[in-house]
Homo-oligomer: A and B are copies of this chain.
Amino acid sequence: MSKKTPSGSTQAVVLDLGAVIATVADDDPRVLLVNAEDTDSRPRLPSGPFDPDSDRTMEEGLRRWIAEQTGLTVGFVEQLYTFGDRFRDPDNRAGGPRSISVGYVALIRQSAAKRPAGSDWFDWYRLFPWEDWRHGRPALLDEILKPKIGSWIDGAEDAKAKRARRGRSDIAFGFSDVGWDADRVLERYELLYEAGLVAETVTDGRIKTGQGQSDAHAWTGLPLHQDHRRILATALGRLRGKIRYRPVIFEVMPIAFTLLQLQRAVEALAGAPLHKQNFRRLVAAEGLVEPTGRVSSETGGRPAELFRFRPDVVRERPAPGVRMPRGRRAK
């Protein structure tokens, strides 16, 4: 075995820090994207350099360039994943330095989420329409994706490969007896990518040429630059998992909020409807919130009490978060 960490000759890698900056606004999940420069290009995730000379840690560097580039001050920040596949940048097919991106998720309150010049807050589900089950199972799934995935399965080399593909899609999309697992966002995106069902596939050369997929993003969502949609899928899956056992949802809430607002925010990220009375019982029982004493009459009906996050909860419960039924109502 090698004795020293291979400190190697300088490698041909370029490292940057990518950010999925997310919030919830008007009961919908939003993500900050840098607008396409022209009609041929696509929106992209904001990203910035990592400067080893001035940034003590990568997270510090990330916060620095987010502030510089967008003027935003983000709260919660968590490292997501480091993306380094060769073809993540389709232009960089042969030679050239490998582009490595350390991806982060950052959360910000709607009130602090101004719109930086050149960027926009996009509805997350415009990028992943099949992930939004808040109003029931998306029609898109059965009407379009399921048959297309079916063809992909049938297109496999042999019976074994076919079985493997079927297994994968059953798991990812819950087509057989498994229910829908909201957390498997990445698996679903990856399957669609491999099956040539997302617009990116064309660019990336997996599909030769126009198969009449120009309407692709009508059903597979808005295509993004490079592998940025994959990064977003990773982020959404991670967030969905995380709200269940850490109180991260409050990072996107205003300081005072009604329980229904809180529920809508959770539903927005989770992509699933929740039972109102039980939700209320749950956050009360977990001790996640405390009343402020004030009420909000903006709803039309009976005024709702305003609550605030109760930070002490993390000192009382091992894994405080918004418990949710996992893929139960799914079918």
Contact = CB atoms under 8 A, between A and B. Distances in A.
Interface of A: 1-3, 5-8, 10-16, 34, 37, 44, 46-53, 55-58, 69-70, 79, 81-82, 84-87, 97-100, 102, 116-119, 167, 170-171, 174, 176-181, 183, 314-319, 326-327, 330
Nearest to A12: B52
A44 B5 contact: yes
Binding site secondary structure of chain A: loop
Copies in the complex: 2
Contacts of A178: 315-318
A317 B177 CA distance: 8
Given A52-B13, A100-B15, A118-B1, A6 B318 contact: no
B3 A52 contact: no
Given A2-B48, A11-B49, 20 more contacts: A1-B117, A1-B118, A3-B34, A5-B99, A6-B49, A8-B14, A8-B49, A13-B13, A13-B50, A15-B15, A15-B100, A52-B86, A52-B97, A56-B86, A56-B87, A58-B84, A79-B81, A178-B315, A179-B318, A318-B327
19 contacts: A1-B46, A1-B116, A1-B119, A5-B44, A5-B47, A6-B47, A6-B49, A11-B14, A11-B50, A11-B51, A15-B100, A52-B86, A56-B86, A57-B85, A82-B102, A174-B318, A178-B317, A183-B319, A318-B326
Closest 3 CB pairs of A and B: A52-B98, A181-B318, A318-B327
A224 to B, nearest CB: 13
A16 B5 contact: yes
A57 B326 CA distance: 32
A44 to B, nearest CB: 7
B6 A48 contact: yes
B181 A52 contact: no
